[in-house]
Amino acid sequence: MEKKFKTAVISYPYSNNLGDYIQKIAAKQFLKEKIIEIDRDNLNNYFGEKIKLIINGWFMEKPNNWPPSNKIIPFFISFHINPIIEKYILNKNGVEYLKKHEPIGCRDLYTKSILERNGIRAYFSGCLTLTLDRKKLKIKNNFKKGILVINLIDRILPDFLFFKKPSIKNLFNDGIQLIKYPYKKSIYIISKRRINVFLENQDKKIKYMSQIIDVSKTSVLKREKLAYEQLFAIANSELVLTSRIHSALPSVALGVPTIFISDGLDHINQKSRLLGLGKFFKIINSKDLNKISNKNIKLNNHKTFVEKMKMKINNFINNK
Predicted confidence (pLDDT) per residue in 248-289, tens digit: 999 999 999 999 999 989 889 999 999 999 999 999 999 999
Cα separation, 4 vs 55, in Å, equals 19
Question: Who wins on pLDDT, 139 or 95?
Answer: 95
pLDDT at position 320, please? Answer: 63
pLDDT at 3: 65
Distance between CA atoms of 136 and 177, rounded to whole angstroms?
46
Please give the average per-residue pLDDT across 55-66, as a whole number.
85
Share of the chain above pLDDT 90, in %: 72
Cis peptide before 250 (omega within 30 of 0): no
Q: What is the pLDDT of residue 1?
A: 44
Whole-number pLDDT of residue 162:
47
Above 50 in pLDDT, residue 19? yes
How many Cβ atoms from other residues are within 10 Å of residue 9's Cβ? Answer: 23
pTM: 0.91
Residue 26 CA: distances (Å) to CA of 69, 85, 108, 230, 259: 23, 25, 17, 14, 21
* Residue 4 pLDDT class (50, 70, 90 cuts): confident
Q: Is 35 exposed, middle or buried (0-12, 13-18, 19+ CB in 10 A)?
A: middle
Average model confidence (pLDDT) across the chain: 90
- Given a cut of 80, whether residue 143 has pLDDT beyond it is no
Max avg pLDDT among 56-70, 96-110, 256-270: 96-110
Task: Indicate the pLDDT class of residue 2, thresholds 50, 70 and 90.
Answer: low
Residue of higher predicted confidence among 312 and 143: 312
Give the mean model confidence (pLDDT) for residues 100-126.
Answer: 98
Predicted confidence band of residue 186 (pLDDT cuts 50, 70, 90): confident
Q: Return the closest-CA partner of residue 224 out of 53, 24, 7.
A: 24
pLDDT interval class at 309 (50, 70, 90): very high
Report d(CA 199, CA 114) in Å as an integer: 39
Residue percentage of the chain with pLDDT more than 70: 90
Given this model, what pLDDT does residue 164 score? Answer: 53
